[in-house]
Structure 1
């Protein structure tokens, strides 16, 4: 079967923009590093995580503790203007040295024109993280606070990554979860409450089948978008768990595989939370491209039960908070010291 390499498609796209007289604008959407940030094998941490967040106070503890169980040893969290107590939730982790917080909204003050309204703020934050902290990490995962990255059968992410050390970038496909019938925020954990996901992504909507990437910062030369990086060859490229190169066409259904790794993307959580979140624009982020709840309708049009992540829940619960009689999480126990981790 005839196929075109991802780098060939990228170069063809460049040429088309040039012929249309619009290459300058297209090129500006990508952000570049002038030089590598680190040498391979010199990192302090094997696996770190980057996330840009806003008002994640109810969930950030579960998200951190879950990924800590997966083998993440440090988090770089870019706070994009939280005012709900997220900073207070992160404070014990910062004191322990597990989390580095960058007050991104404050950092961008006066730079709104550069950040723009087309999603550039997130790409700027990703590039800032690579440039300033990339030398600390052998691998760095770029995910959001509503995304839980985990191995399908292995015990941790680090266990899996050892099998891909010949690659510069490993991309992991989403499973998209909707409301699971919750009109309002239910008590308990996200990983327990949301169990219904889209059965099969539709080719007509690329936002249902995208990847997030675990990358070697030493190989990064730029940020193509929030899903894929520009690596040492000068074009966006990455590989799936099946070692298939996907490049910037990360949403292709033909390459999709979640047999080794997956991301549970809790896209909406409850309907009330989803609507509230959509009503508040983020600094430097584009206006909502999903429009008229179309993506959520797609997710909820054909769902299947999926509790694969719940094999980690008992250990996760033991790391989290005391509970009230009705099951509500009422308080987070501070992060455990290294000698007490499970």
Structure 2
């Protein structure tokens, strides 16, 4: 497994980057350098002498840019041509595998016969750190943009390399023209960062994820484009790999300095990475090169700090850090022209697009469904409702829902982004409720199903109960955002009904609500309410009990208990219908 990178003056960060990716499981590392002035190339030469990697000079042809030049050299490099899996990425990018034990081996074993994994960026900001520090990058910067922030959805691709068929690229390889109209494209099976099949178009074009393809459950590419203010100043000293003008200014900082969500996933490598780095530093040559580089850059930074230019830069970046994520501007994407896109599509892509959709898209396997953290589809615990983290609102069944990482577990957030949140339950609402019914929703979450019921039934009354009060704050935000006003037809109740260690107390609390609201329909989402609790409920006036989500998954009710739940044997009343709906997607 080969990592390929391009660097210029990365000496302060090189050994951490190197040690980290050895910890991830790369067996070979190849780095191209150009015009280094801080000892980066000397360190890489020493690493090669120690048998730990490979270094190549990036001699840039006139008129060419550094990064594309290095990629062209890599295409012809025997080490690359002999590699099985290849990932091409930058020195400010750190691969973080969330799957299994965090190693490439386990993730690739899980990928089966797939021959590529498309890994989406997570944009990590400064964490409001100003001063320079020698502490590891992956220890210092633990705040990132929400994973739903599509401005940060660039990708890097880990794939099985065949020199004859693939041409390397910055974000993903491309199929060589001579193979486009052969059977080769049909053999390309790429997964996204959650282990789900990529859409077919990405075989031929694209450099970033979209709502339908983004995923982080298996892997993410942590992108530390800015780091601290002082680190950013250091980057200005050396330029960038693509010679982009005005890259290091306040606008770029505002775009990349995103700190809305704490993400500590990469800390899983801390011990192993530090052990490898400590071992590297036992080599006296590498040790001297590393600390000499740090001393030089810190001396240069100290001089720069005395200038007006530094003070102006520092102030501009601090101000840029205050720009809310909802107001960040980026280069607007070029408007999509269907005719132009059609003209650019290859013949084989056009043929592929003409196939039935069920042949073009593979249904995810059951093992890819996220079942960890928040079995009810929500992140465990209270939500910090003091700040706005929903950078996107996505319409789900006519209701705009917040794509907010604070609220939804990964698989459910994915459903929100795709506009398919609680799709099955929304479709079956007519079976659960009749117009004019009073509905008591136990465990209403952020109120989606309660709100949806009020939108489709103009005479239904819904009481949304939720033990987690912060979720009902979000429910009210959803109402306000959508401009819904249902009056007394929708109300919220934060009475606690779940007592995990006391099912009798749980039953008593629910019976109090049933007595108060006299519902026709009792909808239950709490997984804690099983047959034992249900059997102690007074359901005499309830015509239907609907078990959904966690309640459905955790509930196995014998037919006799269904008939007698909550009823005395001699009581001459109608028996409520029990409907079990397990929501999987």
After TM superposition, the score normalised by the length of structure 2 is 0.42
1:76 is displaced (CA, Å) by 0.8
Q: CA RMSD in A?
A: 2.7
Counterpart check, 1:148 vs 2:97: no
Q: C-alpha distance in 1, partners of 2:180/2:229?
A: 42
Gap change, CA 1:280 and 1:64, over 3 Å in 2: closer
User: Which structure dedicates a bigger proportion of its chain to helix?
Assistant: 2
Rounded to whole Å, the distance in 2 between the matches of 1:140 and 1:190 is 24
Partner of residue 281, structure 2: 332
C-alpha deviation, 1:178, in angstroms: 1.3
Query: What aligned pairs does 1:278-317 form with structure 2 within 5 A after superposition?
Result: 278=236, 280-282=238-240, 285-288=242-245, 290=247, 292-300=249-257, 303-317=260-274
* Structure 2 residue 152 is matched with structure 1 residue 195: no
Could you tell me which residue of structure 1 aligns to residue 535 of structure 2?
none
- C-alpha separation between the residues in 2 aligned to 1:270 and 1:234? 45
Report the alpha carbon displacement of residue 51 of structure 1 after superposing the two structures with TM: 0.3
Q: Distance in 2 between matches of 1:124 and 1:91?
A: 20
Task: Give the C-alpha shift of residue 87 in structure 1.
Answer: 2.7
Unaligned 5+ runs, structure 2? 285-585
**Per-residue Cα deviation, 1:186-211 (whole angstroms, up to 9, x for no partner):** 231111111111124544x3xx2111
CA displacement, residues 235-294 of structure 1 (integer Å, 9 cap, x when unaligned): 9985423121334333233111010011111111111221332354347x2324757433
The answer on 1:253 being equivalent to 2:210 is yes
Change (3 A) 1:174 1:129: same
C-alpha distance in 2 between matches for 1:186 and 1:301: 20
Mapped pair 1:175 → 2:122: yes
In 2, Cα distance between equivalents of 1:94 and 1:177: 30
Secondary structure of the corresponding residue to residue 309 of structure 1: helix
Q: Is the 8 A contact 2:30 2:53 kept in 1?
A: yes
Q: Distance in 2 between matches of 1:70 and 1:138?
A: 16
Residue of structure 2 equivalent to 1:51: 5
Give the TM-score of the pair, scaled to structure 1.
0.70
Cα distance change, pair 82–168 in 1 and its aligned pair in 2 (3 A): same
Q: Which residue of 1 aligns with 2:174?
A: 230
**Equivalent-residue separation in structure 2 for 1:141 and 1:53 (angstroms):** 15
Determine the structure 2 residue equivalent to 1:5.
Answer: none
Match of 2:73 in 1: 128
> How big is the shift at 1:102?
0.7
The alignment status of 1:80 with 2:29, answered yes or no, reads no
- Residue 139 of structure 1 pairs with residue 96 of structure 2: no
- The 1:68/1:280 distance shift into structure 2, 3 A limit, reads closer
Of the structure 1 ranges 301-310 and 61-70, higher mean CA displacement relative to structure 2 is found in 301-310
Rounded Cα–Cα distance in structure 1 between residues aligned with 2:250 and 2:94: 22
Cα displacement (A) at 1:124: 2.9
Give the secondary structure class of the aligned counterpart of 1:163: helix
Structure 1 Cα separation of the partners of residues 246 and 198 of structure 2: 29
Q: Residues of 1 paired with 2:231 and 2:276: CA distance?
A: 25
User: Over alpha carbons, which structure has the higher Rg?
Assistant: 2
**Could you say which residue in structure 1 is the equivalent of 2:502?**
none
The answer (yes or no) to whether the contact 2:9–2:38 under 8 Å persists in 1 is: yes
Specify whether residues 97 and 293 from structure 1 end up closer, same or farther in structure 2 by C-alpha distance, changes over 3 A only: same
Distance 1:279 1:94, change over 3 A: closer
Aligned mates of 1:88, 1:210 — CA distance in 2: 31
1:98 matched to 2:98: no
Q: Distance in 2 between matches of 1:145 and 1:287?
A: 17
The verdict on how the C-alpha distance between 1:166 and 1:123 changes in structure 2, with shifts beyond 3 A counting, is farther
* Alpha-carbon distance in 2 for matches of 1:80, 1:275: 20
Larger relative contact order (CA 8 Å, sep ≥ 6): 1
**How far apart are 1:165 and its partner, in Å?**
5.1
Distance of 2:180 and 2:232 partners within structure 1 = 38
**Other structure's SS at 2:11 match:** coil
